[in-house]
Amino acid sequence: MNDTEVQEFWIGSFRYRLLLRSPGAIALLLMGGYSRKVGDLRNAFEEYDPFQKWEDYDPDDFALTGDEDLGVDVFSLKRECVNRIAGWVNRARPGFFSISPSTERKEPLYDRISQEVASKIRGYTNQKINRSYQFYRQPL
């Protein structure tokens, strides 16, 4: 069974999309918003690559998505993501899921996120493999 739940939310002036996949990797995407450092993210993206359309925006390929460059409220974003992930896991009970940072610089933050998620869910074991945090449902 391959289900994906999509949740969209705002943190400050940034709009995010959280893709919760069962089984599979959880993904957090920056979908739009405004930063005092770069202005409207849609316009910044168009300036970054004027031949691309906003609809073709891929957070993995977009240099401006590094949170440290945009002024994102990291604490609020972390809290919101941990609560949404834990709520989904406790409700959907996926057999397996993983959480992975997009950059090496974010790895320490993902250490804390994974620990917090693990403390809010029951019946799962987890381990870190390279930079990915793997969660497996334990048999009853």
Please say if the pLDDT value at position 67 is more than 90: no
Give the model's pLDDT for residue 55.
Answer: 56
Asked if pLDDT for residue 118 goes beyond 90, the answer is yes
Are 21 and 56 a contacting pair, CB within 8 Å?
Answer: no
Options 1.20.120, 3.40.630, 3.30.70, 1.10.357; which CATH number does 3-28+70-137 get? 3.40.630
pTM (predicted TM-score): 0.80
Average pLDDT over residues 104-110: 87
Residue that the structure tokens 């970054």 belong to: 48
Write down the pLDDT at residue 61: 47
- The stretch 67-85 carries a mean pLDDT of 85
Report the percent of the chain where pLDDT is more than 70. 79
- Residue 131 or 82, more confident: 82
